[in-house]
Amino acid sequence: MKKNMLFLFALLISVVSFAQQERELKLNNDTNLIDVTYYHDNGVVSQTGAYTLDGKLQGEWLSFNTDGNKVVSANYDNGKKVGKWFYWNDKTLKEVDYTNNTIVSINNWTDSSAVAQRN
């Protein structure tokens, strides 16, 4: 019963946070997380990631523009920003390193660098 209540709470948070976006939610029994995919109005995936059962962002989150190109790769641990985050735009890749929600370092690359590829 408690697990169902937590799932409903996480679902409610998702609905409130992204009320205008199409989404798919699925409880992953292997990880005990709620996997979620959000979609742009044109049907292209907007974001993918997971929530803990108490509604906190967890693990890798990816964001895509309306053309389906990856624009952000982020990492969360129990709702806190951690690890390397990558932000792509037309000409650069920005790497922001987080520890416990705090920025530790920032690096930038141009699109001519192999590191800046969106793989």
19-55 confidence digits (pLDDT tens): 457 899 999 999 999 999 999 999 999 999 999 999 9
- pLDDT tops 90 at residue 8: no
Of residues 71 and 11, more confidence is placed in: 71
How far is the CA of 36 from the CAs of 5, 95, 102, 119, in angstroms?
18, 24, 25, 21
Pairing of strands 102-110, 83-88: unpaired
**Rounded CA gap, 43 and 23, in Å?**
10
Which sequence spans correspond to the domains of the chain?
2-116
Q: Is 0.85 topped by the overall pTM? A: no
Tens digit of each residue's pLDDT (9 = 90 or more) over 104-114: 999 998 865 55
Instruction: State in words which class domain 2-116 has.
Output: mainly beta
User: Quick one: average pLDDT of 74-79?
Assistant: 97
Instruction: Judge contact between 85 and 75, C-beta under 8 A.
Output: yes
**Rounded CA gap, 58 and 24, in Å?**
16
Residue 58 bridge partners (DSSP): 50
Least confident interval from 11-15, 22-26, 58-62, 81-85: 11-15
